Amino acid sequence: MQVGGHAIALEPAYAERARHASGALVLGIRPEFVRYRQRAEKDFMPVEVATVEDLGNHKIATARLGAHLVKVKVSEGTSVETGPGWLSFPREWTRLYADGAVLG
């Protein structure tokens, strides 16, 4: 699947179901499962971190991936600042929705 000009890998069986789905497809992943890095790494895509909220035992960063906003939950010890960053979406936690319903 392509988001913001970047390929996001899906489990093969899941990707096959998506090919046959009708309606608009939306990518979904919970913020705690998105992986964040300050530097480029293999399988991570560049983003622009717009805001960082320090909530004590964790932080919530909001990043721009193309025209899309992505929320990322990071541990309190992780350094995250506004500006360039890198995200990865683990296949096992990435879901697709067709017309609001998860593809099962």
pLDDT of residue 41: 93
> Which helix H or strand E contains 92, and what residues bound it?
none
pTM above 0.75, yes or no: yes
CATH architecture assigned to 2-102: Beta Barrel (2.40)
> How many C-beta neighbours within 10 Å does residue 80 have?
19
Say if CB 10 and CB 21 are below 8 A apart: no
pLDDT tens, position by position, for the chain (104 residues)?
777 788 888 878 777 888 888 878 888 999 999 999 999 999 899 999 999 999 999 999 999 998 999 999 999 889 999 999 999 999 889 888 888 888 86
Q: How is the chain split into domains, by residue range?
A: 2-102
